[in-house]
Amino acid sequence: MRRSVLVMLVTLLALGALLISGCAPEVAPPAEGEEPPAEEEEEEEEPAAPEAKVIKWQLQGHPPVADFYHQGDLRIAEHITVMSGGRLEVEAFAGGSIVPATEELEGVHQGILNMGSACPMYNVGKFPQAALFDMVSGGMTALQMFLWHARGDGDALAADFWESKMNVKYIGSKGFLPPEIWAHTNKKIEKPSDLDGLKMRCAGDGGEILASMGVATVYFPGAEIYESAQRGVIDAFEYASPFLNWGMGFHEVTDYLYMSPSRAPTDCGHVWVNRDDWEELTPDLQQIVLDAVAVVGFDYYAESVVRDDEALVEYYNYGTEVMSLPAEVEEAYLEAAMEFYAAKSAADPLYKKILDSHWEFKAICDRAGIG
């Protein structure tokens, strides 16, 4: 009996469900010309843009940390990193950090350094013509050298020179500097004969010229000068302009400072990039590297002129005897320099080609009153 009632209830419930479903209103078809309602689509997340590739470079310059010229390398690295929006990160190191100081060109050539900077004259052992891109005794001033590179043959000659010999891209100069101090010394120089036997640290063509005048020349990196002078290993040395040398503490180990632009009317550091690394850069990054070196170089020169004036006052106040190089010594030096250049040019066509371009552009500047 109970079972019959349960069966009847189940049957009635099933029939009720069928009736309800049969009474549900049908969805009206869209009117003629009316678009059916769009089905809601789930929003798809856009794929994230791939992160830009970051290139990391190491730049070593020849100066030690104590040499303010190291700031040029730091500024170049910062300019490139900022101007590239961080796509090319450059970290600057002082001389000797990665490769031996003054061997930056070789380090770039071998790919140990991505980027390097050093005075061209540090490579005269391999390339006798190199010092002509650095300084020429009795030659162009810093401003004249800037113009020779920018609007004369300087940059083209330098690029052909370095790039034909090494696996590098020549970028430019990180700044031509004001005239160097002719010599720091603990012995007075009053006449040409006082140079005979003088133990002096010097570099480049200037060192060879002084050697021809009887100076006992020796070369080592700038970081070793202070101790060598303090210990009496050398009697005299040349390095850079007044404010750079003041920062190195050279006033503490020498008594006399002789000023003359005759030996080094200017000085500079060339900048190179490993050629393989250079060719991996996009054109815009290459232009950023070129522009960063140019901007830093000219600004550094302007700053150096002001700082040199301030440093000379410091030398006077410290008690260093600051003197002009005696005219007799200067004349003898320039005479020896012209004989040196004439002999070099006669024996080396490439040397003559670069030097002739130098003298020709100096004549243009001199005629225009650009000193």
The pLDDT-based confidence of 148 (bands split at 50, 70, 90) is very high
Domain locations in the chain? 55-176+267-317
Residue 160 to residue 178: CA distance in whole angstroms: 26
* Claim: this prediction has a pTM higher than 0.75: yes
Residue 88 to residue 74: CA distance in whole angstroms: 14
In which element (H, E) is residue 168 found? strand 168-173
Bin 198: left if φ > 0, else alpha if -120 < ψ < 50, else beta.
Answer: beta
Residue 257 to residue 183: CA distance in whole angstroms: 6
**Which tokens is 230 given?**
């303090």
**Which tokens is 306 given?**
């002001």
Over residues 222-252, the pLDDT tens digits come to 989 999 999 999 999 999 999 999 999 999 9
Q: What is 55-176+267-317's CATH number?
A: 3.40.190.170
Distance between terminal CA atoms of the chain? Answer: 128
Over residues 149-199, the pLDDT tens digits come to 999 999 999 999 999 999 999 999 998 999 999 999 999 999 999 999 999
Among candidate residues 136, 115, 133, 140, the one with its CA nearest the CA of residue 62:
115
Q: Over 50: is that where the pLDDT of 3 sits? A: no
Q: Is there a contact between 206 and 137 (Cβ–Cβ < 8 Å)?
A: yes
